[in-house]
Chains A and B, each alone.
Chain A
């Protein structure tokens, strides 16, 4: 029953979701809306599970003074501190906004800004003209990188319009890029349909955990 009940639930709800896509009537629309609301509620409850796991991991690090326990202390203080400040003063409260604007916001922006450095080092290391395909990738990358910034217009300004970097970059983005992306989207779309069908029919069961009850 431990496996059969979840499989039955998935089958029934999955079937309903397929059927309701084709039936626009208000009665079906109501239940579709209702089930979506249930998903939201369940999702919020699972956050409690997640926070429990987070606290468990970091508390044991602090308790046994494992390596890096100071960071665990910071994590827990930040978690509860932000929650208490938000609950007491509201999300428009002065302290909450200060913590957001001068704490969370710069730190998050800094993490994203690391990409600029990592892209440079990855490009230096990985973009090698080892064979025809990697040379094509390299050439396309250079053309698009320069063609999509003002300097590309300046560098090739003396060339005929159709040979200028911005035009070639536009062509690459609008023609081969679109063609390749469409092909991949079709494949991915079929893949998603196939996996969804497998889940609804109970063929794909790894989401159940364990070995999925393989026979």
Chain B
């Protein structure tokens, strides 16, 4: 009788309704958002490299920060965009940005304008947003020749040559570096064309899932830094001494990951226990 109960228990655990798992994850994600724990963040080499490179740039240097994220991925990539914009503006660097993903153009435009306003930066003088054009591979190739080829005008319809910041800014070689924040496979085009063909110093900010793919390019030196997911964004926030959304999300992510690991352990224990019961039976 007790054996039947135990076997049923392990089998029940293996066959648990997935909605219990969803509910647990829901609670585990929601509660830490209400009560800040403030877990310490350690900085990895790949993020430090991006910070150091930008930090060493002289005042007035142009940093290109193309952002390809949309509402789906903005939770992961927007914090790193904010951190990069803040770092650049605080060092009086100029930002040139585009968004080659149609769903994210409005987001990126608004984000850049919001952070620029925080630092009292002026459009056209301190930052320029080129906007969107289709077929990112073609656009990235053309920008290597001249930004004016795919973008004769910026997002707001201003002639590029009429913008004070764009004087002397012709192509990638006029920019100190490119930090591409990307949630799409378009990151490969930046590596192949911007860095591969035009030798522009390139760093990437990508989602955590994508980051594993780009360690190969980091190891080969094709990118000088890599900011991976919300963790990478929180590291950058720590480096610029600004507690932003990523730092707060680290509490949530830590607890959620721990809970998933606990689920995996429970699942394995139940699996082996039910296997043993089957063998004994």
Contacts and interface: CB of A to CB of B under 8 A. Distances in A.
Interface of A: 33, 36-37, 39-40, 43-44, 91, 97, 100-101, 104-106, 108-109, 111-113, 116-117, 119-121, 123-125, 127-129, 138, 141-142, 145-146, 148-151, 153-154, 166, 170, 173-174, 177-178, 181-182, 185
A91 to B, nearest CB: 8
B55 to A, nearest CB: 22
A149 B215 CA distance: 18
Contact of A120 (B21, B41, B211, B250): B21
B39 A150 contact: yes
Give the interface size class of chain B. 35 or more
A141 B261 CA distance: 9
Tell me the interface secondary structure of chain A in the complex.
helix
Contacts of A91: 106
Given A120-B22, A138-B268, A181 B215 contact: yes
A127 B264 CA distance: 6
Contacts, number: 132
B33 interface: no
A106 B263 contact: no
Contacts of B5: none
A130 B190 CA distance: 41
Contact of A181 (B41, B216, B264): B216
A117 B29 CA distance: 10
B267 A128 contact: yes
A148 B75 CA distance: 17
A97 B256 contact: no
Interface in B153-193: none
B71 A123 contact: no
Contacts of B41: 150
A146 B257 contact: yes
B40 A153 contact: yes
B42 interface: yes
B71 A173 contact: no
B103 A146 contact: no
B260 interface: yes
A124 B266 CA distance: 8
Contacts of A148: 208, 231, 257
Nearest to A96: B106
Given A43-B134, A151-B254, A173-B212, A123 B264 contact: yes
A1 B18 CA distance: 56
B281 interface: no
B257 A109 contact: no
Given A153-B42, A173-B212, A104 B71 contact: yes
Nearest to B249: A149
A36 B212 CA distance: 31
Contacts of A138: 264, 268
B220 to A, nearest CB: 9
Contacts of A149: 39, 231, 250, 253-254, 257
7 contacts: A36-B138, A104-B71, A119-B260, A141-B264, A142-B261, A177-B215, A181-B215
Contacts of A181: 212-213, 215-216
Contact of B263 (A111, A124, A146): A124
B256 A116 contact: yes
Contacts of B29: 116
A37 to B, nearest CB: 8
B258 interface: yes
Nearest to A91: B106
B21 A43 contact: no
A39 B264 CA distance: 48
Contacts of B263: 120, 123-124
B260 A185 contact: no
Contact of A111 (B24, B72, B258): B72
B40 A154 contact: yes
